[in-house]
């Protein structure tokens, strides 16, 4: 039996209901972020979904120097704090430096380590020392068994509130593939496993100066992961993905989440 991680009442564990981590890729505006949060909270209440809201205040790993990155850490955390207080839900954001971890941990409940940063020991250890729940995105270049070393770095700080997220593995150039075996392998480390349905269909840098993707496949991979047995589903969503300022091609439209979750919940109940 693996560890169950409790994030402000939202539980991630084998015996717990499937939890949802959802929100836009990046904070585009206060109003837009609040609107998405409002729709997600209503959905969570309607279908009794354990919900964590996610959004990035800065996307430091954009393909182009001209790509929109977000409002920055100060303004972004203000917006996340407002959502957290208004809706009484836990919030998640990703960080990119030791200094950011110290600041973000004062506001958010889950610190997310971007896939491309998980080999940076000082960074990983600082996340553990923050006291926040740490969600680790498995790097596209990393084997699932490599995640054991990342887990040990976080455990060295005494922090056992760890989530491990699969987001696809590199398959040639500009292509990712989701290996469902990794969900089983990572769960053997004793911590909850999350499946990132939307980044798993991303095409990194696939459009030259932006990343591409094919969001139509995300619901199918989500159902496959639910059948394997995961503790949480990570889904980036937007009212109109075609107009999103980051990762629009691989997002799931917000209007489609209700019907999708009914299927995911039904599959999860079989486990």
Distance of CA 138 to CAs 116, 164, 168, 179, Å?
8, 7, 8, 12
Measured torsion, CA atoms of residues 214, 165, 186, 44, in degrees rounded to the nearest 10: -100
pLDDT band for position 136 (cuts 50, 70, 90):
very high
**pLDDT tens for each residue of 137-156:** 999 999 999 999 999 999 99
Residue 143 is predicted with a pLDDT of 96
Q: How many CB atoms lie within 10 A of CB 148?
A: 14
CB 176 within 8 A of CB 201: yes
pLDDT band for position 12 (cuts 50, 70, 90):
very high
In the predicted structure, residue 264 carries a pLDDT above the cut 80: yes
Query: CB pairs under 8 A, 24+ apart, for 153-159?
Result: 153/121, 153/124, 153/125, 153/128, 154/124, 154/125, 154/127, 154/128, 155/128, 156/125, 156/128, 157/125, 157/128, 157/129, 158/128, 159/128, 159/129, 159/130, 159/131, 159/134
Residue entry with tokens 């957290």: 84
Report the candidate in 172, 170, 173, 174 with the shortest Cα–Cα distance to residue 182. 170
**pLDDT tens for each residue of 71-126:** 999 999 999 999 999 999 999 999 999 999 999 999 999 999 999 999 999 999 99
CB 182 within 8 A of CB 138: yes
Residue 209 is predicted with a pLDDT of 58
Token duo for residue 222: 């989500």
**pLDDT tens for each residue of 197-215:** 999 998 776 566 566 678 8
Whether CATH 3.20.20.70 fits 5-268: yes
Token duo for residue 220: 């199918």
Residue entry with tokens 């015996």: 15
In the predicted structure, residue 196 carries a pLDDT above the cut 70: yes
For residue 183, what is the enclosing H or E element? helix 181-187
Mean pLDDT across the chain: 94
Residue 206 is predicted with a pLDDT of 57
In the predicted structure, residue 3 carries a pLDDT above the cut 90: no
Residue 66 is predicted with a pLDDT of 77
Token duo for residue 75: 């303004």
Token duo for residue 70: 């977000």
Phi, psi angle pair for 125, to nearest 5° = -65, -40
* Mean pLDDT of all residues in 187-206: 90
* CA–CA gap between residue 151 and residue 149 (Å, rounded): 5
Angle at 202 between CA 196 and CA 204, to 5 degrees: 125
Residue 205 is predicted with a pLDDT of 67
* CA–CA gap between residue 39 and residue 74 (Å, rounded): 25
Residue 211 is predicted with a pLDDT of 66
pLDDT band for position 166 (cuts 50, 70, 90):
very high
Share of the chain above pLDDT 70, in %: 96
* Mean pLDDT of all residues in 38-50: 98
pTM for the complete prediction?
0.95
Measured between its terminal Cα atoms, the distance across the chain in Å is 14
pLDDT band for position 216 (cuts 50, 70, 90):
very high
* CA–CA gap between residue 45 and residue 4 (Å, rounded): 22
Task: Give me the residue spans of the domains in the chain.
Answer: 5-268
Residue 246 is predicted with a pLDDT of 85
């Amino acid at each position: 039996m693996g560890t169950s991680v409790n994030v402000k009442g939202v539980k991630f564990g084998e015996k717990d209901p499937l939890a949802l981590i959802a929100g836009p890729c990046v904070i585009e505006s206060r109003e837009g972020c609040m609107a998405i949060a409002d729709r997600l909270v209503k959905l969570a209440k309607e279908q009794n979904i354990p919900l964590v809201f996610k959004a990035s205040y800065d996307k430091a790993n954009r393909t182009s120097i001209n790509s929109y990155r977000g409002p920055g850490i100060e303004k972004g955390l203000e917006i996340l704090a407002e959502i957290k207080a208004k809706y009484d839900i836990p919030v998640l954001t990703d960080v990119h430096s030791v200094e950011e971890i110290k600041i973000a941990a004062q506001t958010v409940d889950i610190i997310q380590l971007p896939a491309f940063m998980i080999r940076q020991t000082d960074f990983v250890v600082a996340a553990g020392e923050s006291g926040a729940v740490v969600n680790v995105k498995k790097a596209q270049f990393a084997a699932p068994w490599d995640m054991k070393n990342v887990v040990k770095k976080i455990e060295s700080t005494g922090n056992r509130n760890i989530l491990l997220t699969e987001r696809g593995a590199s398959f040639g150039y500009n292509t990712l593939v989701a290996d469902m075996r990794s969900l089983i392998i990572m769960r053997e480390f004793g911590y909850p496993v999350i499946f990132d349905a939307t980044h798993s269909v991303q095409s990194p840098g696939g459009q030259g100066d932006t990343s591409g993707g094919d969001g139509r496949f995300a619901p199918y991979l989500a159902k496959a992961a639910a059948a394997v047995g995961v503790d949480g589903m990570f889904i980036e969503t937007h009212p109109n993905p075609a107009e999103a300022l980051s990762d629009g091609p691989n997002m799931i439209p917000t209007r489609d989440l209700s019907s999708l979750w009914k299927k995911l919940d039904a599959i999860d109940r079989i486990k």
